[in-house]
Chains A and B, each alone.
Chain A
Amino acid sequence: MSAALRLMTVAMLATGGLFTGGVVWYAWERIWIWRRLELSAYAVDFRRSLRKADPALPILLVICATATAGFAWQTSGAARTLAATGIGVLAVILVSSIVLAEPINNEFRRRPEGVVPPDAERLRRIWRRFHLVRTALALAAFALLITAVSYA
């Protein structure tokens, strides 16, 4: 393995692991708690949470996908195929987050703290289901990246 490939692999696995761990943490901890909160408390907590996690997780995802592209570029055969599939899954997560989750996030973000958007219960349910699907995809992508490295 060349030094450049090694660097790409470390960046891909480190950011991939942190991204997946962060997404799993939301699914395991926040979603469970948010489900039990009253809507007014949920609106406050969800909005505050967005402020912190919103920049961090997409940045990790983009770095991971970029490093995976570099990894795929420098490998061949099964390693390249698995890495390319991993990029595809990461792209699905990114695009679906922008298309499905962002409009919901904005409903809470653009209102003053404590103001509950209309239809908030439905928004909470859709966001929760979407995040659980996104978590399963993130786990699958990380497993693909690890498997790709084993073929490199």
Chain B
Amino acid sequence: MIWAISMLIAGGLFAGGAVSIALERIPAWRGADLEGFKIAFAHTLRRVDPLQPALVVVSLISTIGFALSEEDAARVVAALSAAGFLIVLVGSGALLVPIQRRLVAAEPDAGSPELESLRARWLRGHVIRTVVGLAAFVLAVVAAVM
């Protein structure tokens, strides 16, 4: 029971946060000039960076715990959900975090085409992360209801 509760709360908060960034921040960042984007992006990272990874880790551990405590279809669906959260965690760490660091550390006179490309890659990566995180959360809900 405890695994289900923590999986649903952490998964819901993570997915809701990721969707909000995709819906609210991405259009604003896409339309901003590069300097304005860098400042706003750094502010958001400062707030979101400790929370979102922590929620993914709790979601991952909880779905694994839930899968191990269940049988049959619920176990399979929870395992798929855990795989989704794992993809989000590894993908964020391996692909998005290095882009974030380069974006925030870039000098003001850094080449615009390079920064534009980094911004486009991060925004695209976040949309993919949101879709995978959302799918993983819905799978966690389905597993809990089985």
Q: Name the CB-closest residue of A to B13.
A: A21
CB distance from B43 to the nearest CB of A (A): 5
Q: Do A10 and B1 have beta carbons less than 8 Å apart? A: no
Report if A56-B23 is in contact (Cβ < 8 Å); known contacts: A21-B14, A149-B144. yes
List, in ascending order, chain B residues with CB within 8 A of A146's CB.
4-5, 8-9
Chain B contact residues, majority secondary structure: helix
Q: Do A25 and B145 have beta carbons less than 8 Å apart? A: no
A20 within 8 A of B: yes
Binds A, one of B84-92, B98-106, B134-142: B134-142
Q: Do A17 and B15 have beta carbons less than 8 Å apart? A: yes
Report how far A84 CA is from B33 CA in the complex, Å.
48
CB distance from B81 to the nearest CB of A (A): 12
Q: Name the CB-closest residue of A to B134.
A: A18
- How many interface contacts (CB-CB < 8 Å) are there between A and B? 98
Report how far A28 CA is from B48 CA in the complex, Å.
8
Residue among A1, A52, A142 making CB contact with B12, cutoff 8 Å: A142
CB distance from B31 to the nearest CB of A (A): 9
Q: Do A52 and B16 have beta carbons less than 8 Å apart? A: no
Identify which of residues 1-17 in chain A touch chain B, using a CB-to-CB cut-off of 8 Å. Answer: 1, 6, 9-10, 13-14, 16-17
Q: Do A24 and B24 have beta carbons less than 8 Å apart? A: no
Q: How many B residues touch A, CB cutoff 8 Å?
A: 34
CB distance from B128 to the nearest CB of A (A): 18
Q: Do A17 and B16 have beta carbons less than 8 Å apart? A: yes
Q: Name the CB-closest residue of B to A152.
A: B145
Report how far A134 CA is from B115 CA in the complex, Å.
38
Report how far A115 CA is from B42 CA in the complex, Å.
26
CB distance from A116 to the nearest CB of B (A): 19
Q: Do B17 and A14 have beta carbons less than 8 Å apart? A: no
List, in ascending order, chain B residues with CB within 8 A of A9's CB.
141, 145
Q: Do B137 and A14 have beta carbons less than 8 Å apart? A: yes
A contact residues vs B (CB 8 Å cutoff) = 1, 6, 9-10, 13-14, 16-26, 28-30, 32-33, 45, 48-49, 52-53, 56, 142-143, 146, 149-150
B contact residues vs A (CB 8 Å cutoff) = 1, 4-5, 8-9, 11-21, 23-24, 27-28, 40, 43-44, 47-48, 51, 134, 137-138, 141-142, 144-146
